Amino acid sequence: MNKTKLSLKIVIYTSLVLGLLLILFPMYLTIIVAFKTPAESAENFFSFPKQFYLENLKTVVCSDNFIYFLINSIAITVISLIVIIFFVSLCSYAISRNQNSRYFRFLHIYLLAGIFVPFQVIMLPLVKFMSGMNLTNQVGIILLYITLANAQGVFLCVNYLKSIPMEMEEAAHIDGCSVYRTFFSVVFPLMKPILVTLLIMDALWIWNDFQLPLIMLNTSSEQWTLPLFQYNFKGQYSFDYNLAFASFLISMLPIIIVYALLQKHIIGGLTDGAVKS
């Protein structure tokens, strides 16, 4: 019995470590190649750099307005998220507490329909529509992220709100709180777990999104986000792969830092709200 348990343990650890190596290998490669000179990596692609050669990274950061792309990405993500959290929680609260109203039942189904509609369906008409209003810019893309986040957000939040007992709201109502006051001081705090889940999902989506920036912002380089920079930088490194890996490293660096600092909260936050609802 003990022997089978021990061998089972060995199998578990070996497979976990093998998976770990598979995940880390591309990252290892990215880091070492980014820090080597072309001559050094021609000699041996896999070896650790003898000295940390910083020119590749410098070229990437200086060649384009890298800092602007970083700021664009941060601004678009943060502004969208703040508005998403408010709009989605307000609308979900109104829907979940008015299930006997025909308007709110319709609104619920109308918003959920968006889950099934792939982005490609609205992509082409959307671009014509947005450029007609001079909105193929960062303001326009923020408006679109706010809109597109509604479907999944309302789905998660309405489910979650249905599981929250209404006694607290009723007490607040009897004490004379208005609906708004009840929402902001009672319901909103209760929604924290699901809103954290939503925040993380949407943050990862908006930060890493490529298709929407590609069709909305690609024409002027001042508006690029990090994924768009990464895509357009392709043309500059066709022969210099050290430069290529340096650009991969640099555009991943912000999210790697955030993940290293917050990984427990990110994974916990993602699953807590999702499992409960």
| Residue 192 vs 234, nearer CB to other proteins | 234
For residue 76, give both structure tokens: 């678009």
CA dihedral 240, 53, 260, 267 (to 10 degrees): 20
Q: Which of 15, 63, 163, 185 binds other proteins (CB under 8 A)?
A: 15
Scanning 51-59, 62-70, 188-196, 268-276 for contacts with other proteins by CB under 8 A, the matching segment is 268-276
Judged by DSSP in three states, 209 sits in coil
Residue with the two structure tokens 């340096």: 246
Question: Helix axis angle, 192-208 relative to 138-162, nearest 10°?
Answer: 150
Q: Which of residues 238-267 bind other proteins (CB under 8 A)?
A: 241, 244-245, 248, 251-252, 255-256, 258-259, 263-264, 266-267
Size of the site for other proteins (CB under 8 A): 89
Locate all alpha helices (DSSP H) within 117-137, ordered by sequence. Answer: 119-132
Cβ 97 to other proteins shortest distance, Å: 6
Q: Which of residues 25-44 bind other proteins (CB under 8 A)?
A: 26, 29-30
Question: Helix axis angle, 102-116 relative to 138-162, nearest 10°?
Answer: 120
Q: Which of residues 96-135 bind other proteins (CB under 8 A)?
A: 97-98, 100-101, 103-104, 107, 110-111, 114, 116-129
Cβ 266 to other proteins shortest distance, Å: 8
| Residue 97 vs 196, nearer CB to other proteins | 97
Q: Which of 180, 189, 220, 239 binds other proteins (CB under 8 A)?
A: 180
Judged by DSSP in three states, 134 sits in coil
How many CB atoms are located within 10 Å of the residue 214 CB? 15
